[in-house]
Structures are given as structure tokens and as C-alpha cells.
Structure 1
């Protein structure tokens, strides 16, 4: 249960203002079909985050040492610092005219844009931390949906009213707190 809840909270906060959330807004504006877009986000996230959690769990199993646990803790702190840098969707990453409809365009675009994104890196770290692929995948997917479904329905109006700087700071503090907690746990202080 800890893996599910932690994964949900970490990714939901990290996703706010992220380039995939901006992509969700662009797709919603372009297609004006929220259900296929939401289904596409869900399908892409399940596939991408399952693979990321699997990589994290497998790497952790191979490198299960005290230094690896410190590296995982440090990766959460680094993710917190990275979260302070807001994402922008580059023009070359904006969705091109679609040939495949809202669902397939969204699924492909989200899967590709999520590659190497901070939420995917966080999913790898969470998989390594918890050694639990399915709960981490479920949690990170739920976090993505909590952040992106409102973006699809409310689009730009939400982004204009949410103080993203504050949200980024809260998300950064959460990542850093988890990293420090993991380091303290590894050191035997907790």
C-alpha cells in the first residue's frame, strides 16, 4: 500500500506543469474529444510506467547494496531539484496533424514524450525503492491521471489559475523529503 500511495503522490505533484500535462491541454484543444484523449493517456502511461517500474525493480535487485540505496535516495533529491525547473512543450514536440484519431494520436504522443521525462525517471526510482512493479505502476498511473484528466477537461483555464511555482516547490519538497527519508533509513537513523 505504501508503494501505491507514495507513487501516486509523487507523480501527481511532479506532473503538474510538466510537458505531458501541456500536451494533454494541446490535444484537448485540438480534438475536443476528452474520453479518447483520457483513454490514450491511460494506455500510454500504463505501458511506459510498467516498463519503467520493471527496470527499476530489476536494477535494484541486481545492485542491492547500501551504496545503491544511497543512490536511490540521491535520485529523489535530484528529482526534487529537477522539479523546480518548469517544463515547456517545444514547438517541435507539439502534436502534428493527426492521421489516427484522438486515442491513437494521444497514446503515441504521450508514450514518446514521457520517455526520459521526470515522471518516468521517478517511476524507475520508485520501482527500485519498493521492488513492487504493479503497485508502483498503478500508483504512478493514478498520479498521471489525477494530474491530466482535469487538464483535459478544463484545459488552459486550470493552468492559468494554478500557481505553478508553488506547486513545483511543493513537489520538489516532497521528492527531497523522500530522498532524505530514504537516506536516513539506509543509515539506520529510522
Structure 2
């Protein structure tokens, strides 16, 4: 059992590095307190890897990938709209992050939908078929929590350094990207359409950000020293 824990922890931790789950975690950490996000990740990891162990050790069946991907895409698109509306109502001076009533449920549901059929879950299914199921469950859950904890730390650091309105906009764009990728690539099997849609969203978001930044700079009042004439400055 101990060897199964160590093996599963190492495999899942490495598999999670750079995975979409880390990006999702960082996105939530931009908007919510770290312990709220970590709690949701821990619950989701327990559920997902418990299901993986049951599939690999007891059932030996596979999950339908496209219906799950479609459900995940719809969920992330709804999260994008939700986050964007929250960002419109908040100001740049917000220091504390408000916690909606169902934020943990949102984190858990989005993680479960994103992980079903993912390579991390498939790795857990494979490990559970050949190793102690309880050890695989514990190790895989711990590996996911540790890997996503790194993303939470990155998101918390960005939250301290960047304005609240910008973070809401960034989170909304990331949720939109996740939703479009799952919809076109996972649910419809159109990788080229997924790349085109995500690229268009990123280019559009970058363009809007640059235009807004330039408009804010042009609307800032000029320093008083720049408004003085040379004769006035001499006197």
C-alpha cells in the first residue's frame, strides 16, 4: 500500500504539471481565497480519483468522453459569463475577495468535469488495476492537491499585485478559453476549430486590453509642470 501511495503521488503530480487543471486552479485563485480553492480541489480530487479507482479496480469500464466534454464546456462558458458579470460590479479598489455561496460547489463541479477522461484519470485507472486500490486513491489525491497547490500560490501572488477588475477579466477570458477548447476539441472533435476559436479570443482580449490601457493613459491629467510655460517656470 505504501509503495502504491508513493507511485501514484509521483505519477499524478508530474502529470498535473502544466495541465489544464493547474490553469483552472490558478484562475480560481485569482478571485477567491487560497483555502477555499484548495478545499474545492481536495474534494474534487477525492471524488475523481475515487471514481478512477472504482473503474480501474472494480468495474473495468470506460467513460463516454464526448458527452462529458460537452457538459464541461457548457459549465466553463457559464463560469465565464458569471465571472465577467462579477467583474463589472466590482471596482479596482477591492482588496478582499468576496466568496459567493456556491463557490466550492463551482470549483468541485468544474474540476470533476475537466478531469473526467483526462490523462490523469486514465493514469489512476491504470495504476488501480495493478496496485493496491486504497494506496492509489490516497496517493493520486495527494499528488493532485500538491500540484494544484503550486498553481494556487501563483494565483494568490498575482492577486496581491494586480487590480481586482483586471483579475476578474483575466479569469473570465481563461474560463471562456477552457469552455471553447472543450466544446470544439473534446465534444466535437474539431481541433482546428478549437485552435482558431481560442486564438481569436486571446487576440481579441489582448486588443481590448491594449486599447483600454491607451485610453486610460490619454485620459490621465497631465502633470502641472508640463502645463507651465517656460517663462512661468523661470519666475
Whether the TM-score (by the shorter chain) exceeds 0.5 is yes
Moved over 4 A (4+): none
Using the TM superposition, give the Cα deviation of residue 45 of structure 1 relative to its aligned residue in structure 2, in angstroms: 0.7
1:29-178 correspondence runs (5 A): 29-31=30-32, 33-59=33-59, 93=76, 95-96=79-80, 97=82, 100-130=101-131, 132-155=132-155
Paired residues of 2:8 and 2:136 also in contact (CA < 8 A) = yes
Using the TM superposition, give the Cα deviation of residue 101 of structure 1 relative to its aligned residue in structure 2, in angstroms: 3.5
TM-score (norm 2): 0.49
Deviations 1:108-133 (A, max 9, x none): 11111111111111110010121x22
Using the TM superposition, give the Cα deviation of residue 36 of structure 1 relative to its aligned residue in structure 2, in angstroms: 1.0
Deviations 1:34-72 (A, max 9, x none): 111100000011011011111111256x9xxxxxxxxxx
Paired residues of 2:29 and 2:156 also in contact (CA < 8 A) = no
Gaps of 5+ in 1: 63-89, 159-190
Higher relative contact order (CA 8 A, sep 6+): 1
TM-score (norm 1): 0.60
Cα pair distance change 1:92/1:151, threshold 3 Å: same
Count of matched residue pairs? 129
Q: CA RMSD for the aligned pairs?
A: 2.8
Using the TM superposition, give the Cα deviation of residue 91 of structure 1 relative to its aligned residue in structure 2, in angstroms: 10
